Structure 1
Amino acid sequence: MRIDLKTNWELTGSYPGFWEFGRSMEVNVELKGIVPWIPAEVPGSVHWDLHRADYLPDPYFGANAPSCEWVNERDWLYRTTFAADASWSGKRIRLIVEGVDYSAKVLLNGLTIGSHTGMFTPGVFDLSGTLLIGEQNTLVIALERSPEGVAQLGYTNRVDHLKSRFGYKWDFCPRLVHIGLWKKVSLQVAEWCVFDHVGIETHQADHGSGLLLVNAVVESERAGKIRLTANVTDPDGLNAGSECFEGEVVPGLQKIRLRIPVKDVRLWWPNGYGEQPLYRIALQLETVEPAGDFVLSDTYGVRTGFRTLSFHANPGAHPDALAYTVAVNGEHLYVKGWNWVPVDQLYGRNREESLKHLIALAKRANVNMLRVWGGGLIEQQLFYELCDEAGILVWQEMMQSSSGFNNEPSISPAFLHNLTQTMLNVIREKRHHPSLAIWCGGNELTEGGHLDGRMLPLTDRQPNLRLLRDLVSDLDDTRLFLPTSPSGPTFFLDGKDAGKGILYDVHGPWKYAGVTEHYRLYNSSDALLHSEYGGDGFASPESLSRFLPPERLKLEQSGSIDWLLHGYEYWNMDDQLRSLFGDSFDTLERMAEAAQWLQAEGIRYAVEANRRRAPHCSGSLLWQFNEPYPNVSCTSAVDYYGDPKLAYSWVAKANRNLHASLQYEGISYLLGEYFRASAYLTRDSVKVDSVLLEWKARNATGDQIGEGSFVLKEVRVPTILAGEIEFAVPAGGDAFFVMLKVVDPTTRQALADNEYAFAVRRDDVRPPLQSFLLIPQTALDWNLEEVGGGTRINVTNTGKTTALWVRVRAVELDARLGPPPNRPLEDGFLVFPSETVSRHIEGVLPQERSWLVTALNS
């Protein structure tokens, strides 16, 4: 029986070690601590408890973060009481503290019963000798000050602990080091035999049947008889199989193996390739008491899925390249995804709804893999469960990351011992998840550092990474182990290395590279896997108003401490936006819209370029999906409050199973030049017989300037070149647009569409993208319809020029307090004069929100 201790927690603070002394030496009075006892949440975060009690300002608002840095420099005592029922007498009673961040001593009724260090391994304490049966008991968990940590710029070889790194200061968050009990605290009341750990394996057999293997390790205090029962429930809740073991155990650890045949198994598939049926496995461990009665002692339950996982070399790759292509159930897939960082910098807070929202967004965006970055967390259990349900494969890194000056992890005996014990627990805890696909030793681990002339990714010959490789081989050998990301031998995607066959798994760049350079780089890349890259963009005006004071919501405030603390130290876009658009921004809202468009254009093109090279490219993972702290500008696709940026929508479209795209050499053209592009059709997990790929080109007033179509028959490969497009850049107007549409030739049904915008400049003096800002203003009208529990919004351009990148959102009346805006999946679209475009927003009715429709030029 597990009893979660969730209520009646209190918190107080102490200078390091003062609480243990208890009384003043000078005047012999009790030391009261630095705050009185205040209500606390467990799981939780000390910072947030202090904020709720008005002892700390909101760490996420304005310039408050530096005034909160002191919190992790203190000791913090959590206290609660609980009653020990008389029926517990003679039982085995243990306290399980799942998430100590980072080191703690535990006291029961004033007596120290043990200590624990490590946030990714549970602290387990035997209470049998100190518990007051039939009475109230007082539990105190005293967290010691956080260990000294290494921020983003430092020395990896000096990291001597496995506390999450990003809180010590990263490019997407300030220094705000979490301290607290970030997972559950519970009591286990059991008999003399309990589970130590359980391994679950699923195997496919012939004729649609399957086999589920249970490897249960039990810990017994004495010799005796036990019964272990395993029941399997199918996705519909029906019994799918069971097995039972009865026998003798001896003191210590003992493994019990059960084999459970399962008929007519339903296979688990990644998102976009099929369904995600999950089977529940429930174990009951009973002991046989002297009277011969079976008494329930312990239980274990998980969900898993039946699927096979394999990894393959890219066609034509060099023999020393690793196997980057993932196959599930024998079908090769193209990896489409993002890198994942923690949902919240103060990660002990309850952010369950935010986590569900983000994984739902990822599924909608056609993501089939998330890379859990090595500077963040081994995530909460809910993250992996949601990925199982959504069909999102997980690339899990092992909490090691680069530090700029030095990127090689420690090989000291003490650190390697800690690493072994931690990852032993983590692998055992996560390996039953069908979503888990890849284990990785860490982020950007290299010989030397970023300032060196040559950064060489480490291999599994390095002792630290060899240890992790061997752990995965011993405990979870169906998953791929990568020593680091990128795995090299070349670190960066660099134009000088493209086309030479030396780009295997690469990182970067993280910025829009220019109106011609950006496209030249991605057109020339021959990387086998692109596991981290991206571009920066602003948060929405609604989100900016939630964390910036009103006086900072202005263009001239970009050098303020508020902006710098919220991402602008690293992701300052002032010079970039000025060089591309000129000094044409009159409001912060307009600047934010342009910044979001630039991010969307840059990473959308990169995603499409990588995908056009499939299967020679195995996939790409953008940096980054979410952010743990609200930023003015950041490389995230979804901001801290859960509001998708324009890049989210455009990448979601680029990742559709059937997609049309253009390859071009630049986005800004002089009058008299010719526009030339290649049209491609890409597909994943869909059968395509014959289709038409149609294209049209229009100028800024919506007039047609070119059109054509390509007939594609028996499309069987992932990517096919449909044909070439060429026309003269139109004289007059500041932009032109190319629209693609994939059509079923028989039914004329539209199967996919896409659209691109290009700037026209009259000379080389004008900034290359300023033309977009010079297009005359237009006017938008719209109406709302209730459709299927959601809202259809019909947007009409009533002006004379094309509306650029129309954004639709349904917001609360006070956007600073409510949930993030509801947006259509296909956001940021063009509307030509006198035309109407419809979009659907799920889960919100017309009357439930305020509605905003904007364009860059409306």
Structure 2
Amino acid sequence: MDISLSGLSWELKGYWPYVPIKEKSMETGQTLQGVTDWIPAKVPGGVHCDLWRAGLIEDPYFGQNSLKCEWVENRWWMYRTAFPGTLDGTDLTKERAILIFQGLDYEAEVFFNDESCGSHTGMYTPFEVDLTGKIRDENRLVVLLKGVPQEMGQIGFTSRTFTQKSRFNYKWDFSTRLVNIGIWQDVKLHLRKEAELSELHIDTDFADGKGKIFVSALAEDFRKESGRGERKQDLAVKLTVEGPYLCESEDVAALKGMARDGQKARAAAGGEKPSVRVSLTVPVKDGRIDETLELNAPALWNPNGCGLPWLYGVRMELTEGTAAGGRVLDSMEKKTGIRSLAMAQNEGAPEGALPYTFVVNGRKIYIKGVNMTPLDHLYGTVTKEQYSHLVTAMVNAGVNLVRVWGGGLIEKEEFYDLCDENGILIWQEFIQSSSGIDNLPSRRPEFLRLLEETSVWAVKEKRNHVSLAVYSGGNELMDAPDRPCGLENETIAMLLEIVRRYDGRRPFLPTSASGPREYITREKGVSHDVHGNWRYEGNPGHYELYGQSDNLFHSEFGMDAVSCVKSLRKFLPERSLRPTPMTGDLTWQHHGEWWGTYYRDCGIFGPIEKTPENLELFARCSQYMQSEGLRFILEADRKRAFHNSGVIIWQLNEPWPNASCTNLIDWYQEPKTAYYQTKRAYEPRHVSLDYRSLTLSGKTSMDVYVENDEAAFSGRIRALVRTLSGETLQEETLFLQVPENGSVCAGRVTVEPREGEELIFITLLLEADGETVSENTYLFGTKEQEVLSPLRKTPGRVELVRYSAGELAGGRMALSATVRNAGTRAVLDAGAELAGEGYALLGGDNDRVLFPGEERTFHFLAIPKRCGGFSQAQNSGGAPALKLHWL
């Protein structure tokens, strides 16, 4: 039995370092005071947020306020609470009670009833204190956090790292310096039973029509210690497997309901499965059980887009004796999925390359991934609803894998549960990352000890999740510039041994990237898993670099863009609400120094005057270029399946509000245009154009590709070449047979712009099964410089034709908006966003090219916000209003 102490009344007080130990001045004998009074605190949480709620610091996410908060990490902080000897009807004074802190960040000493219970270092490994016989009628609990270690940020020396503290807090390109300190996970009392199950390990496999569930656990016998005398009966474990179940979130279900009919039918395929229940009882031998259960023709767990993520419940009951009706001493329950998992060599891979092709249930899976950062600098304040929204956004975009980055967190259990339930594979990195000056894994003894402790804990904690697909030693670890570490590195070899010992079946990659070269290059035969780049490489440089790459896997790359103006207004002061290069405004620089796009965007769309009236124009131009550049990378890699076996975009989210960054969704849960471009590029059947420049210089031929994750099909492609006014200059039809789970070149489209025509649109429509299954529009110009600037000669105009809003369960709203291009020229990224607060918006589609007179209907799900931390964004009800946007 566990009793949470997190909901107790907690208080917090700050001190100068060491003052709580000394208490009184040796010179005067006076009691040494704190730097704050006692203030209310939330557990789990973070010190900064408690200080903000108490009015002791300003919102660190507004303007440059985070600079004013850096004193917080240089103080010691004391939490205190009290509780009676009886909680939840249980007399704790008579129990064997273990106090468990699941996340102390970072160095702590714990006091119970004024006595020290010991010290702890490390934010991931739990700290346990045996309180048996120490609990009184009234009890005081104090936690002293001794500042934060001075660890490396993004720029530094990996070889000198010495902690297992999340490093992004110390300043990264997408974050500020705001180093968390506090109790970031649950605090509880565990009341020990007469015997208990622990060290659970569940794994599954599927072969020859049979599913296997492997279960092992320790069974610890405390009956003698509990006062019941000598053991009279041996222990046994009753195992029960029941299912299958679908546990997809209601948000995911609602969004799937908005899909096109064909997509909806495919998503629902196999949606009915007969229920099964299998039980057996096995004796405990040498303090443990190891058992395998078999199921005939089980419902399989599938990654998003490849079927449904069926789960089975596994229940274990620790009993006295093997006979039915034996007394149950302890029980555990866990959901798992049945699937096979392997890594295979990529097609045509160079000799010696690692395998990068994920094979699930015997089928190759093209990875359509995203990298995630922690959701907030104060990760203890992140709510389950925030995790749910992030995973829902992944599912909606067609993502099938998320990389949990080594400079961030080993996330909370609820995130991994959500990935299990919604079919998102996980690439889990251990807590190591590059530092720029050197990137060599640390060999400092204190670091290796903490890394081993944390990694053993992480593998044991996360191995039971069916979504966990691969471990990686860390982010961008290199033994020389541009040369990733391999398995021969001593630190990497230690992690591999931990995975083999405590997991045993999952793949392990030495680091991300891996292979001969770290970064993408034009050189042939050396790009295995590569990183880069993160910015637009110019016209035509961008298209030449990515269009000619022969990488096997692309686990990190991105494109930057300015955030939505609605978001900018929340954290930028009035004087900064204007277009600017990063060097032109210190507040912009503070919120995204590396990611200025002003000169890039002016170089494509023409000069943008730095006035407040042009902020929306700047944001729209910036977001268009992010989506254009990102689309090309995704399509250039995917058309080479399975020589290239996957892409992982940097990055889906951000831990604080950036004015400009490489994220697809901002801190306020507002999607950028690139989110919907990614959703289209990740669709199961996708049509794309292969080109090498945005500038059409005379007659130009371009290949047309179809990428397909599904069964083979026959179809046709209609290619429309149109002008800015919407006039159709040419139309071609390509007929094709598309192979199962692969890509094919369908033919070529040849375009010769009409004299005087400055902008040309090419729309590709893939038709199959009686419907348009993919639509993709590209914009080209005929100028060498400021290639898309003619778009701005005439203003565009989009109007709302129809709007409806209907209530769904849980306060959600189903929105439908029909928009029309009411102007004389085509517009880019015509779509909608929420005008107000309280909801997060995700759509089946958004941000499309719209030609004059054309109408399009968008369907959205408005999800009530339930955010923690400095946002505190809550939903107060009422129908949300939409605001149209376009370029």
TM-score over 0.5 (shorter chain): yes
Q: CA deviation at 1:605?
A: 0.8
Between stretches 28-37 and 522-531, larger displacement belongs to 28-37
> Does the 8 A contact of 2:108 with 2:120 survive in 1?
yes
> Does the 8 A contact of 1:212 with 1:262 survive in 2?
no
Between stretches 236-245 and 47-56, larger displacement belongs to 236-245
Within the candidate set 115, 121, 128, 1:117 is matched to 121
Aligned mates of 1:14, 1:193 — CA distance in 2: 43
Between stretches 631-640 and 486-495, larger displacement belongs to 486-495
Q: Which residue pairs with 2:63 in the alignment?
A: 62
Amino acid at match of 2:640: R
Task: Return closer, same or farther for 1:125/1:56 CA change in 2, 3 Å cut-off.
Answer: same
How big is each residue's C-alpha offset from its partner over 1:535-574, in whole Å with a ceiling of 9 and x where there is no partner? 101110111111112222122585332211111x111222
> Does the 8 A contact of 1:506 with 1:527 survive in 2?
yes
> Does the 8 A contact of 1:701 with 1:800 survive in 2?
yes
Task: Return closer, same or farther for 1:153/1:759 CA change in 2, 3 Å cut-off.
Answer: same
Amino acid at match of 1:382: E
Between stretches 790-799 and 430-439, larger displacement belongs to 790-799
Between stretches 395-404 and 513-522, larger displacement belongs to 513-522
Pair 1:596 & 2:627 matched: no
Aligned mates of 1:798, 1:201 — CA distance in 2: 57
Task: Return closer, same or farther for 1:782/1:752 CA change in 2, 3 Å cut-off.
Answer: same
Q: CA deviation at 1:848?
A: 1.1
Q: SS at 1:283's partner residue?
A: strand
Q: Which residue pairs with 2:20 in the alignment?
A: 19
Within the candidate set 764, 774, 790, 1:771 is matched to 790
Task: Return closer, same or farther for 1:522/1:145 CA change in 2, 3 Å cut-off.
Answer: same
Aligned mates of 2:561, 2:383 — CA distance in 1: 24
Task: Return closer, same or farther for 1:800/1:621 CA change in 2, 3 Å cut-off.
Answer: same
> Does the 8 A contact of 1:91 with 1:192 survive in 2?
no
Q: Which residue pairs with 1:688 in the alignment?
A: 712
Within the candidate set 510, 513, 519, 1:486 is matched to 513
How big is each residue's C-alpha offset from its partner over 1:585-607, in whole Å with a ceiling of 9 and x where there is no partner? 45111001100000000001100
> Does the 8 A contact of 2:834 with 2:881 survive in 1?
yes
Q: SS at 1:272's partner residue?
A: coil
Aligned mates of 1:17, 1:280 — CA distance in 2: 50
Between stretches 570-579 and 92-101, larger displacement belongs to 570-579
Aligned mates of 1:842, 1:637 — CA distance in 2: 18
Q: CA deviation at 1:300?
A: 2.8
Amino acid at match of 1:433: H
Q: CA deviation at 1:49?
A: 0.5
How big is each residue's C-alpha offset from its partner over 1:630-658, in whole Å with a ceiling of 9 and x where there is no partner? 00000001111111100010011001110
Aligned mates of 1:177, 1:298 — CA distance in 2: 40
Task: Return closer, same or farther for 1:588/1:247 CA change in 2, 3 Å cut-off.
Answer: closer
Q: Which residue pairs with 1:345 in the alignment?
A: 377
Q: Which residue pairs with 1:850 in the alignment?
A: 881
Q: SS at 1:339's partner residue?
A: strand
Pair 1:182 & 2:196 matched: no
Aligned mates of 1:636, 1:331 — CA distance in 2: 31
Aligned mates of 1:760, 1:218 — CA distance in 2: 75
Amino acid at match of 1:850: A
Q: Which residue pairs with 1:106 in the alignment?
A: 110
Task: Return closer, same or farther for 1:729/1:776 CA change in 2, 3 Å cut-off.
Answer: farther
Q: CA deviation at 1:736?
A: 1.4
Task: Return closer, same or farther for 1:93/1:736 CA change in 2, 3 Å cut-off.
Answer: same
Where in structure 1 are there 5+ consecutive unaligned residues? Answer: 449-453
Alignment of 1:608-757 (within 5 A): 608-669=635-696, 673-684=698-709, 686-713=710-737, 715-716=739-740, 718-744=742-768, 748-757=770-779
Q: SS at 1:477's partner residue?
A: coil
Aligned mates of 2:149, 2:296 — CA distance in 1: 52
How big is each residue's C-alpha offset from its partner over 1:836-858, in whole Å with a ceiling of 9 and x where there is no partner? 112111348998122211211xx
> Does the 8 A contact of 1:808 with 1:823 survive in 2?
no
Amino acid at match of 1:35: T
Aligned mates of 2:741, 2:141 — CA distance in 1: 63
Q: CA deviation at 1:239?
A: 6.5
> Does the 8 A contact of 1:791 with 1:844 survive in 2?
no
Aligned mates of 1:350, 1:689 — CA distance in 2: 44
> Does the 8 A contact of 2:13 with 2:36 survive in 1?
yes
Aligned mates of 1:382, 1:101 — CA distance in 2: 19
Aligned mates of 1:65, 1:714 — CA distance in 2: 53
Aligned mates of 2:30, 2:242 — CA distance in 1: 61
Amino acid at match of 1:803: V
Q: Which residue pairs with 1:3 in the alignment?
A: 3
Q: CA deviation at 1:89?
A: 4.5
How big is each residue's C-alpha offset from its partner over 1:653-693, in whole Å with a ceiling of 9 and x where there is no partner? 001110000001111235xx123211111100x22331011
Q: Which residue pairs with 1:536 in the alignment?
A: 560
> Does the 8 A contact of 2:198 with 2:217 survive in 1?
no
> Does the 8 A contact of 1:217 with 1:255 survive in 2?
yes
> Does the 8 A contact of 1:155 with 1:407 survive in 2?
yes
Where in structure 2 are there 5+ consecutive unaligned residues? Answer: 247-274, 809-813, 865-876
Task: Return closer, same or farther for 1:287/1:30 CA change in 2, 3 Å cut-off.
Answer: farther
Q: Which residue pairs with 2:855 in the alignment?
A: 836
Within the candidate set 617, 633, 637, 1:606 is matched to 633
> Does the 8 A contact of 1:198 with 1:217 survive in 2?
no
Q: CA deviation at 1:235?
A: 3.2
Task: Return closer, same or farther for 1:57/1:788 CA change in 2, 3 Å cut-off.
Answer: closer
Task: Return closer, same or farther for 1:80/1:296 CA change in 2, 3 Å cut-off.
Answer: farther
Q: CA deviation at 1:714?
A: 5.5
Aligned mates of 1:725, 1:710 — CA distance in 2: 9
How big is each residue's C-alpha offset from its partner over 1:223-261, in whole Å with a ceiling of 9 and x where there is no partner? 735453333331349672233345687xxxx32234444
> Does the 8 A contact of 1:107 with 1:140 survive in 2?
yes
Within the candidate set 232, 246, 259, 2:241 is matched to 232
Q: CA deviation at 1:413?
A: 3.1
Amino acid at match of 1:394: I
Q: SS at 2:80's partner residue?
A: strand
Q: Which residue pairs with 2:483 in the alignment?
A: 456
Q: Give the TM-score normalised by the residue count of structure 1.
A: 0.92
Q: Which residue pairs with 2:811 in the alignment?
A: none
> Does the 8 A contact of 1:201 with 1:213 survive in 2?
yes
How big is each residue's C-alpha offset from its partner over 1:721-755, in whole Å with a ceiling of 9 and x where there is no partner? 111111211334431111111113xx642222111
Q: CA deviation at 1:73?
A: 1.2
Task: Return closer, same or farther for 1:42/1:297 CA change in 2, 3 Å cut-off.
Answer: farther
Alignment of 1:308-387 (within 5 A): 308-387=340-419
Q: CA deviation at 1:208?
A: 3.9
Amino acid at match of 2:76: D
> Does the 8 A contact of 1:781 with 1:798 survive in 2?
no
Aligned sequence identity (%): 36
How big is each residue's C-alpha offset from its partner over 1:329-383, in whole Å with a ceiling of 9 and x where there is no partner? 1000100011111011111113322211111011010001111110000011111
Aligned mates of 2:644, 2:434 — CA distance in 1: 25
Aligned mates of 1:760, 1:807 — CA distance in 2: 27
Aligned mates of 1:297, 1:43 — CA distance in 2: 30
Aligned mates of 1:58, 1:680 — CA distance in 2: 49
> Does the 8 A contact of 2:762 with 2:777 survive in 1?
yes
> Does the 8 A contact of 2:839 with 2:863 survive in 1?
no
Aligned mates of 1:717, 1:438 — CA distance in 2: 22
Aligned mates of 1:243, 1:88 — CA distance in 2: 35
Aligned mates of 2:807, 2:746 — CA distance in 1: 37
Q: CA deviation at 1:402?
A: 0.3
Aligned mates of 2:502, 2:705 — CA distance in 1: 43
Q: SS at 1:162's partner residue?
A: coil
Pair 1:508 & 2:532 matched: yes
Alignment of 1:207-606 (within 5 A): 207-218=209-220, 220=222, 224=231, 225=233, 226-236=235-245, 240-245=277-282, 254-285=287-318, 298-448=330-480, 454-495=481-522, 497=523, 500-556=524-580, 558=582, 559-567=584-592, 569-585=593-609, 587-606=614-633
Task: Return closer, same or farther for 1:142/1:321 CA change in 2, 3 Å cut-off.
Answer: same
Task: Return closer, same or farther for 1:367/1:374 CA change in 2, 3 Å cut-off.
Answer: same
Between stretches 350-359 and 151-160, larger displacement belongs to 350-359
